[in-house]
Amino acid sequence: MKEHIYLGIDDTDTLNSDCGTGKLARALAGSLPDDIRCCGVVRQQLLVHPEVPYTSHNSAACLILASSGRTGIGSIVDCAARYIERHYLAGSDPGLCVAGAYKASCDRLSDFGLACTRQLMTQADALAAANGVHLSGHGGSNDGIIGAAAAVGLTATGWSGRYIEFGQLRSLPETMEVAELEAMGVQVLSLDRNAVLPASRDTVFTNCWVRPRLIGNRPVLLVLPDGEGRWLNIGRKRRKARADDEPSGGWSN
């Protein structure tokens, strides 16, 4: 694999849908060309504000892709656009952003993404930030281009968001050894005040909900000490007030 590519989507669902943007992003990963490998799907949290017309929590999703170089970005865009247009829900305003990991374009998108976590931004702002990369709307008002561009920019920083897809994280057991998590590519990081480093044979209680943070361009599971040789995952499922990235009445990603 040679080239890393970020693919952001947003606003593909409606309030009472059972397939939110996060779920659609995870399904989209399986529809890409064979030589494209999905290295993970990251959820990004954007500004929650009365003037932002979001579905539930104003989150967007970004796929981190690795390409052998045989399939160009144009083909990835076509594939993703077709998938979104087939599966987005009427009444939503889907957007798509696809960018290679080129410093100049990613820096602009990263600045835009950070702004989207703090203040109101417009489609015009998104289009300006996406100069040189693909950004397109695929229904409704096309407002989803704002979140799609922001998701790419925030993910490209390597320091924002949490993984909602990475390997088999959705089927991991309640307890695992640190070495098992690290073998699947998840770094275990202690938040202990004494900065104790978890040992390979230490046990992590996962809460059956492993959603690593994107830290330093790596998936990192944050844990707290829970006794000698035992650690507790700080993340856990929580009920949602409204439908978001999981079936309605379910749990958050």
At 252, list the tokens: 């958050």
The model's confidence at residue 57, banded by pLDDT at 50, 70 and 90, is low
Q: Which amino acid is at 54?
A: Y
pLDDT confidence of residue 244? 41
What residues contact 206, with CB distance under 8 A and at least 6 apart?
172, 173, 174, 175, 176, 233
pLDDT confidence of residue 246? 40
Whether residue 172 is predicted with pLDDT greater than 50 in this model: the reply is: yes
Percent of the chain past pLDDT 70, that is, above it, reads: 87
88 Cα distance to chain centroid: 18
* pLDDT tens sequence across 11-54: 765 555 566 788 899 999 989 988 899 999 999 999 887 766 55
* pLDDT tens sequence across 177-192: 999 999 999 999 999 9
> Alpha-carbon Rg of the chain, whole angstroms?
18
List domains and CATH numbers for the chain.
3-163 (3.30.70.2200), 172-233 (no CATH)
pLDDT confidence of residue 240? 53
Asked if 244 contacts 252 with a C-beta cutoff of 8 angstroms, the reply is: yes
**Worst-scoring range by mean pLDDT, 44-48, 114-118, 147-151, 158-162?**
44-48
Between vectors from CA 215 to CA 248 and to CA 103, what angle results, nearest 5°? 105
Whether residue 94 is predicted with pLDDT greater than 90 in this model: the reply is: yes
Asked if 192 contacts 205 with a C-beta cutoff of 8 angstroms, the reply is: no
Residue appearing with tokens 């529809």: 31
pLDDT confidence of residue 2? 56
**Mean pLDDT for the stretch of residues 72-84:** 93
What pairs with residue 231 in β-bridges? 204, 225
What average pLDDT does the chain have? 87
Asked if 180 contacts 152 with a C-beta cutoff of 8 angstroms, the reply is: no
What's the rounded Cα separation, in Å, for the pair 215 and 99? 20
Strands 95-100 and 3-10: antiparallel
Whether residue 252 is predicted with pLDDT greater than 50 in this model: the reply is: no
